[in-house]
A and B are shown apart, each in its own frame.
Chain A
């Protein structure tokens, strides 16, 4: 087995301005996660979210153009207020580890995605470039506008 995942992983971190119990709730309750998951302009339907090791997590992202994107995952590890590991079992195949760390009234989040193989990762990045680049820019603009209104 290859232990070095450097060429097929993504790591993003963020300090969230909310206490751990709120962040955990927003992450683990279907009614909450449906509100923020996916790119801007998408809505989500969570069909299953069985938050326990081996539990299924199925969600459908509805794109702005009416396209539905099925996402199927299996939870691997759940440690209350600390850690969620899930395996994405529909394409693209990857394992996500989300670590939460309470820091007073804030929460530090570490999100680590490891793809099954570098081929898989390259494939995802390659397919992503076609139209998502543009969408992302629109999103960034949206985010910026939201910031201006608040």
Chain B
């Protein structure tokens, strides 16, 4: 089973670039492919992964296929970043507690 989640989606620089491109406005698949040096197939695969990860939606208009960004998923990433930040904040909590103890010790010691 291949992982398909938002982390998988943004783990690749080309996919991040695609997300950035369509974040402002929907773009058609050909226009996206044209702005990369890699093959059209490679871009199609990236778009497919982004769709599977639910960060992109494809809208058909006649023969054109447009990619639209669905960015609410990205909040999942930022909430995990917040948790990771908490981990570091907790180090500082520990440091604060320790400094408080040190200060108390020094006061009694001298």
Contact = CB atoms under 8 A, between A and B. Distances in A.
Interface of A: 10, 12, 14, 16-18, 22-23, 25-27, 32, 35-40, 109, 111, 113, 118-119, 122-126, 128-129, 132-133, 136, 139-140, 143, 146, 150
Interface stretch (B24-32, B37-45, B50-58, B86-94): B86-94
A40 B83 contact: no
Contacts of A125: 7, 77, 80-81, 84
A22 B84 contact: no
Contact of B90 (A109, A123, A133, A143): A143
A139 B83 CA distance: 12
Interface residues of B, number: 29
B81 A36 contact: no
Given A22-B99, A22-B102, A22-B103, A113 B88 contact: yes
Given A10-B88, A22-B103, A136-B86, A128 B80 contact: yes
Contacts of B89: 12, 14
State the main secondary structure of chain A at its contact with B: helix
A22 B81 CA distance: 31
Interface of B: 7, 10-11, 13, 16, 77, 80-81, 83-100, 102-103, 106
A143 to B, nearest CB: 5
Given A32-B102, A37-B94, A122-B7, 5 more contacts: A17-B99, A26-B98, A111-B88, A111-B92, A146-B97
Interface centre among A109, A122, A133 (most CB of B within 10 A): A122
